[in-house]
Amino acid sequence: MFSFLDQYESKGRFVFRQNDNLGVVCNAPKNCSGVYLVYTVKDNNKRLVYIGCSGLEEDGKIKMRQGGLWGRLVKGKQFGIQRTQSWPSKIIELKLDSLYIEWWNTKNDFPEIVEYCALAEYMHEYNYLPDWNNEFRLKEALHKKCLDYIKKNIEYFAFIGTEDED
């Protein structure tokens, strides 16, 4: 799943535990936009619970978030409060060993589109969103660019299928 993310060479991962300082363990760059996946880890079992992105479309261009991917992961909010507080709380609440985070710098590809495609692939596989995602939508300004992205990467999106020509 998500083999289309393999095209992005700038990538990384890190583990976050209940007592860790998120700003210290997060190794995502501060100077780029991209996507990230959050997994819960319990008894050596990983489960994808969130697909997110950093960087938004503004006037047809990618607007990088202040602090880039690092800023989104460390200073962003989840469950109504900053992740520096919500993630340790979730680890306790769900009796987890840790969270495992993977990230990719999507370079010139709109992070919102890459996130949307990852969510689409996940939903195709499981028929529902990851537990911590609550919406599946793409703003209208990106619809055409999304179709172009899918066409450019169609070999990765086998679940979409193609029409047979007579």
Q: Contact at 8 Å (CB) between 34 and 106? A: yes
Cβ-based neighbour number of residue 15 at 10 Å: 13
84-136 pLDDT, tens digit per residue, is: 999 999 999 999 999 999 999 999 999 999 999 999 999 999 999 999 999 99
Distance CA 53, CA 142 (A): 15
- Sequence-distant (≥ 6) Cβ neighbours of residue 35 within 8 angstroms: 5, 51, 52, 53, 54, 103, 104, 106, 111, 114, 115, 118
In the chain, where the domains are located: 3-156
Please check the confidence at residue 164 and state whether its pLDDT lies above 60. no
Position 165 pLDDT exceeds 60: no
pLDDT digits (tens, 9 = 90+) for 25-54: 999 999 999 999 999 999 999 999 999 999
The whole-model pTM stands at 0.92
Task: Kindly report, residue by residue over 64-84, the tens digit of the pLDDT.
Answer: 989 999 999 999 999 999 999
Question: Locate tokens 């950093």: which residue?
Answer: 54
